[in-house]
Amino acid sequence: MSLNTYLDNTASNLIIKGDEKDAIAKSLDVFKSRMENYFFWNETVNLKEIKVFGSYARDTDLPQAIDSGTDVDIMLVMDDDGATPQTYLDRVRRAVEAKYSTSDIKQSSPTIVLQMNHIKFEITPAIQSYSQYKIKDQWSGWMYTNCLTDFVNLKTANTNNYCKIKPVIRLVKYWNKTRNGRGFASYQIEKNIVDYYQSNRHQEYDTKRYLLTALQCLRSLPIYEFQRKTLESAISNVQEAINDEEQFPTSAMSELKKVIGEL
């Protein structure tokens, strides 16, 4: 098996799909229905939209079997009635507690976390400002979210690079989870890789080179020295695998699996 085939197969198995995807979709449908019902009957503010965003919406989340921290980010977009962000968060909390009274619910500012058996929802209040969304920040104010821009940028980078960017993001997140102790924030991994490939620096269908470049993109992030050593080791392993593949394919695969282990 070639390095690219191994990476492509692994990336394919890192997609949330099948029964897991169906279960999440059903839970989202139920959640939306319950929130609409609650706000209609119990809150004076109008619930304008329920929007799924984040890595789940962009298809770069990992399956729960790989990463138990996987979640779905949801915005409850309400009319702007001048209330404080904390008041908006309290409205979200009341709605979730009313409709999921037997579930595990906690506030993790600036979100309400709803933990279910098969998935975790992180729910944040939002208001709309023209074509952009504002969500509660970690303190007491609003901040703009770049969810629409992030979605478009990823789509553009992925399309311009033979649909390799999403799979490689999942591979790097998998490495970060299994080999790097989640040393990098998931969002920052994605943003750095997408920002690099926005200028269409494509490498055709060579997944292993996309992986190498994606890991190199993380060098600019602020990290501790021990994390930098882990990153540099991964970069070195992938580079060695690429160099050895033609003459020493078994050795090359062994080097690659030090970074992207078997599922």
pLDDT higher than threshold 80 for residue 262: yes
Provide DSSP, 158-169: HHHTTT-HHHHH
Q: Which residue ranges make up each domain of the chain?
A: 18-145, 150-257
Q: 18-145: which CATH architecture?
A: 2-Layer Sandwich (3.30)
The pLDDT of residue 109: 80
- The whole-chain average pLDDT of the chain stands at 96
pLDDT higher than threshold 90 for residue 118: no
Strand (E) or helix (H) holding 120? strand 120-129
pLDDT higher than threshold 80 for residue 201: no
The pTM (predicted TM-score) of the whole model is 0.95
CA-to-CA distance for 53 and 151, rounded, in angstroms?
9
Nearest to 207 by CA among 199, 195, 196, 215: 215
| Tens digits of residue pLDDT in 127-153 | 998 889 999 998 889 999 999 999 999
The pLDDT of residue 120: 96
Whether a cis peptide bond, with omega within 30° of 0, leads into 110 is yes
Contact 262, 239 (CB under 8 A): no
> Which tokens is 195 given?
């920002």
